[in-house]
Amino acid sequence: MRDPYRVHRIVANDPPGLACSRDSDPSKRAQRVSRRAVALEPRPAHRFHMAGLHAYQRVDRSFFETTRFSFNVEVELDCSPDQLFAVFEDAHAWTVWAAALKKVEWTSPKPFGPGATRTVTLPGGRVADEVFFAWEHGKHMAFYFERGNMPLEAFAENYDVTDLGNGRCKLLWTVALIPTGAGKVLLPISRPIMQWQLNGMMKSLQKYIARQAFEGAAPAAAQ
């Protein structure tokens, strides 16, 4: 709600003596107060989202092999590759099996492919805009953080899917990053903890898949 006292507070903040000298030209004073009041008007919501974010390094698939900090988890799932990608396309599903994600929003329309985008929200007000630089339905997808408010130089994830037949598949998940600031010191120490957390998310994905009634159709969103 607009503050009815906004302009009065601005006028009250004038240095002593300055207000009196400005009163000599009421029309200029009114224009000056108007400009200063407008400057304090709130920005549109989308500009708040962009304001606190900084750009990250754009990467390609070689990043997963060259960066110092890379984590791999391999898991077998009781679903076909097509069914697994149906889970990946379901924004809500990510918030169920990936505990680190509080909200996932696709910002590009279906069908998804290379160049698809989405925004993810993590605990503590952390936000990242993602760009999928690889997408081959049922086989492979990968994305990097384009911008965000986390202490990183680069972050990316890669998903390789192998069809095992009989309605089953294998997923190789790779997470790679370059930390900044204190993360350069803390990540080597906490590396086992991060690997444990990623292993836990893959177990959660297994359980999520097991709860779905796959009968040749896309999975229903979790309740």
- Spell out the per-residue pLDDT of the chain, length 223, in tens: 444 433 333 333 444 444 444 445 555 555 554 444 333 333 333 444 555 899 999 999 999 999 999 999 999 999 999 999 999 999 999 999 998 999 999 999 999 999 999 999 999 999 999 999 999 999 999 999 999 999 999 999 999 999 999 999 999 999 999 999 998 899 999 999 999 999 999 999 999 999 986 644 444 444 3
Sign of CA dihedral 187, 191, 197, 198: positive
Q: Which CATH number fits domain 55-211: 4.10.93.10, 3.90.1150.10, 3.30.530.20, 3.40.50.300?
A: 3.30.530.20
pTM: 0.74
Identify whether the C-beta of residue 174 lies closer than 8 Å to the C-beta of residue 63. no
Specify the amino acid at residue 181: G
DSSP run (H or E) holding 183: helix 183-211
